[in-house]
Amino acid sequence: MTAPRRESSSSAKGEQTRQLIVNTALRLFRERGYEATTMRTVAGEAGLSVGNAYYYYPSKQHLVQEYYDRAQELHDAAARPVLDRETDFEARLHGVLRARVDTMQADKHFAVGFFRFAADPQSPLSPFSPESAHARELSIALYAEAVRGAPGVKMPPELRDALPELLWLYQMGVVLYWVHDASPNSAKTYALVDQTVPLVVKLVGLARYRLLRGIIFDLLDLVRELRAPPS
């Protein structure tokens, strides 16, 4: 997937046009859904020619990547007060995960309809795709900060290095549950976070014990094997 054009972003007009296209697309995604939103529709709503819209964004898939990036920026901002205030690992992880659910709520209708596109492992819209790497790396970095800012949590160095990505995978499981959660205000998803975070923290703590360390390392090896690109 060709990257969107950035060369005009140095000019105020070019950047304003890019932001207009993105803001319009995100509004239409929320109002009409991903499938019903076309580049022609985005251009028309933004008051631009179709060619101008395509100049900045070669496809609406590129606009979804902008949505991913913005969603991660919102998550980071929502989690910031917890990370600035707490040094306890469980409190930090709990706050970061609940912040993720908080920032997704406004997009529930869009996410439910969009899920079948993002769930396709061959799609550039998949959170696991190379095209989604920027948002994914930002999210993993947030979990790395959550771990780094909790000096009281003890674990083997190998687990500390791998834990941010494992926590991101845990988050993806929460997101998947949220997509299918029909409870009022996603109450069951919040309950899932509340009840599973203490379990995750306990598992991390158990890695200190030699008897269980081999099991933890076997799990890390399995995750590395599953995440490795096909040969």
Q: Tell me, yes or no, whether 22 and 125 share the same domain.
A: no
Q: Is the domain of 51 the same as that of 117? A: no
pTM beyond 0.75: yes
For the record, the structure tokens of 96 come out as 């970061």
Share of the chain above pLDDT 70, in %: 86
* 53 and 67 assigned to the same domain: no
The answer on 44 and 110 residing in a single domain is no
**Residue 108 is assigned to a structural domain of this protein:** yes
**Mean predicted confidence (pLDDT) in 30-55:** 92
What tokens were used for 112? Answer: 């439910």
In which domain, by residue range, is 53 found?
7-58
User: What total of structural domains would you count in the chain?
Assistant: 2
Same domain? For 217 and 127 the reply is yes
The yes-or-no verdict on residue 9 having pLDDT over 70 is no
User: Quick one: average pLDDT of 23-41?
Assistant: 92
> What pLDDT was estimated at residue 100?
98
Angle, CA 218 vertex, CA 228 and CA 201 arms, to 5°: 100
pLDDT tops 80 at residue 60: yes
153 and 67 within one domain? yes
Q: Give the model confidence (pLDDT) of 41-53 as tens digits.
A: 999 999 999 999 9
- Between the alpha carbon of residue 10 and those of residues 14, 54, 131, 152, the distances in Å are 7, 18, 23, 45
Residue 31 and residue 102 in one domain: no
